[in-house]
Amino acid sequence: MGQASTTIPVYDLKGKVVENFQLDKEVFDGRVNKTLLYEAKKMYEANARRGTASTKTRGEISGGGVKPWRQKGTGRARVGSSRNPLWRHGGVVFGPHPRDYSYSMPKKAIKKALISSLNARLSEEMIKSVVKMETVEAKTKEFKSILNALKLDGKVLVVVETLSDNVKRSSRNIKGVSLKEGRNINARDVLLNEFLLIEKEALEKLVERLK
């Protein structure tokens, strides 16, 4: 992986560069820990699992209390219950039961995973910063015009410092666009999107948090 750029341009909402943002080398050092990224992604996905899948064993199904036929003399195989797993409507062998799939990683590892994900997107030139995300009205076409001006097409994670109602409503009907406040993003959010569009203020706060 090549060395990350030391600055990125900051755009206005019409796609014009208004300044350059100096990246902190302590955070944006160009290093990407792929193993850590994999572990973090796996943890976030495991924590999102509901774990409610459930099946009944032979002991949990109603009925089956009477022996279908006597033990000997019928010529048929012996059987003790009509709810045994070999029979229709019987119990399930080794089926799923409600469980908690969640687990945690050390805070330092989670922090480093987010840094690695940001470095990966930066090296691919997939991070763009804007002065501030705002729309005059809560209309989809306004938000689309911003994306078109910044030449963003595909899956875009929009990171803002404070989520406004107008921005939330104008972006919610656009396919591939997800919206989050800077304090809530994680490595999985960054990896699942092709582009990261982040407000300058949100980027400054994020860098301070990651140092």
pLDDT of 205 strictly over 70: yes
Q: Are 190 and 117 in contact (CB under 8 A)?
A: yes
pTM of the model: 0.84
CB 179 within 8 A of CB 160: yes
**Locate tokens 């302590």: which residue?**
26
Please give the class, per CATH, of domain 7-49+104-210. alpha beta
What tens digit of pLDDT does each residue of 53-101 get?
999 999 999 999 999 999 999 999 999 999 999 999 999 999 999 999 9
Furthest-apart CA atoms within the chain: distance in Å: 93
The residue behind tokens 């993003």 is 185
pLDDT tens-digit series, residues 20-29: 999 999 999 9
Amino acid (one-letter) located at 124: E
Domain residue spans of the chain: 7-49+104-210, 51-100
Q: Give yes or no for a contact between 74 and 109, defined as CB atoms under 8 angstroms apart.
A: no
Three-class secondary structure of residue 130 per DSSP: strand
β-strand partners of 90: none
